[in-house]
A = this chain, B = another copy of it.
Amino acid sequence: KEESRKTRRLTFTFDDWKRHRSGSRYLYHLKTLAESGIVRGIAAPVAWVTAFTGVVAAFNSAHAARLLPPWLPPLPAIALEPMQLTSFALSLLLVFRTNASYSRWDEGRRSFGAITTTCRDLARQACSWFPSGPSPQQQQQHDSSSSPSSPSSSPSSSPSSSSPCSPRPHLARWLVALGRSCVVHLREEHRLEDELRDVLQPQELAAVVASAHPPNFCLQMITWIIRTAGLPQELVMRMDENVSRLTSSLAACERLLNTPLPLSYTRHTSRFLMGWLACLPLCLWSYCGPAMIPIAALVAFVLLGIEEIGVYIEEPFSILALEKLAGKMEAAIAAMLAERETIQRLVTGNSSSNGNAAAAAAAAPAAPANTNGTTATGDKPAAAAAPPLTLGSSPLHSLGATPG
């Protein structure tokens, strides 16, 4: 059952929507009945209810046929009326509880979406606002250190990746690291080292892994990079608003993970439902006879199914496609870094390469490296190369261009 949650992580495309809406969905839903995670989740309790109903039916039949010792009393028959009077409260409770779980699921989706969106927004701001070279503040410190520039760890990084501290790709790397460490933080499946190995440099990786709260560590790195990028204070403010939004979106995710629905709510609903289903065969026998066995099974299936859905989606992160969302964010950031040069040329007046600019622009996302030859400005290679972010062999890369 826990394994089945992993297969639920999907994102919809236009074709999925068409299938979702098509008239043949009813057939499809019946065909996939056996594979449903919900159905497998409630198989056991439905079987219990059915077995209990069978026992009641057998006992009652045997009693009616006088096969039982005469001193055994018949099973009590519950009148329909109290069942009716409470069926309403039961249904309301079930559906409201499921609705509260749905709100949690929706908020989880929204909050993680806000993380990726805000990362994209920070990357957008950095692409247009950050100066191209290292900031003066960094320059100073960098000069005084006079160390050889540490080689980038990513195998796809071109050797011309001059300064590891050029703030734009630096920020982009840490935004990607933030996304992945959030995924690791909200799931228990991945190892942080494996996820971040191709994004961060070894010493950065060691620091993140050793930190008390990896996403917080990334947020602090991002704050520092923004602060030392040499921007005017107003733009630092704007970017810091986005960092604050990241903090609170992450906190919303943690809140959902920390705090279930009030347990008394969940448990009372569950006990109410089990008690009601246990009374059902005693009530139905006089109305349906042995036919009550499939009927009780069906009733148990639909009502337990509603309750199971409520529990199933209460913790949203293990059924959301977090990896795909983070992957899309990475692809978007990589595209921004790659397209930056094209945009700059379009804005500043199509200076020297008017003829082949369109072609170059068209080629830019596909092969950002080969534009280095045509442009002679000094600071562009750093941007276009964007070393650790090309994510060449990552399986997430192919998601970047899908629209939905």
Distance of A268 Cα from B195 Cα, bound (Å): 36
- State how many angstroms separate the Cβ of A26 from the closest Cβ of chain B: 6
Q: Please tell me if the beta carbons of B91 and A88 are within 8 angstroms of each other in the complex.
A: yes
With a CB–CB cut-off of 8 A, which chain B residues contact A403?
Answer: 185-186, 188, 257
A275-B302 in contact (CB<8A): yes
Minimal beta-carbon separation of A63 from chain B (angstroms): 17
Q: Least Cβ distance of A1 to chain B in Å?
A: 7
Question: Does chain B have a CB within 8 A of A375?
Answer: no
Given A21-B312, A238-B240, A365-B210, also A26-B274 (CB < 8 A): yes
CB–CB A145/B233 < 8 A: no
Nearest CB of chain B from residue A377's CB, rounded to whole Å: 11
At the interface, is chain A mostly helix, strand, loop or mixed? Answer: helix
The reply on A81 being an interface residue by CB < 8 A is yes
CB within 8 Å of B: which A37-94 residues: 37-38, 41-42, 44-45, 76-94
Residues of B within 8 Å of A306, CB to CB, are: 89, 93, 268
CB pair A221 B343 closer than 8 Å: yes
Q: Do the beta carbons of A212 and B299 come within 8 Å of each other?
A: no
Task: Determine whether A99 belongs to the interface, using a CB cutoff of 8 Å to chain B.
Answer: yes
In the assembled complex, the Cα of A188 lies from the Cα of B350 at a distance in Å of: 32
> Which chain B positions have C-beta within 8 A of A199?
none
Kindly state whether residue A204 has any CB partner on chain B within 8 Å: yes
Over the window 360-404 of chain A, the binary record of Cβ atoms lying under 8 Å from chain B Cβ atoms (1 yes, 0 no) is 011111100000000000000000000000000000000011011
CB distance from A15 to the nearest CB of B (A): 9
Given A29-B274, A306-B268, also A8-B247 (CB < 8 A) = no
Residues on B with C-beta less than 8 A from A365 are 210-212
**Can you list 11 residue pairs at the A/B interface with Cβ under 8 Å?**
A1-B21, A17-B315, A23-B44, A26-B274, A129-B227, A144-B351, A212-B335, A213-B401, A220-B343, A225-B347, A237-B237
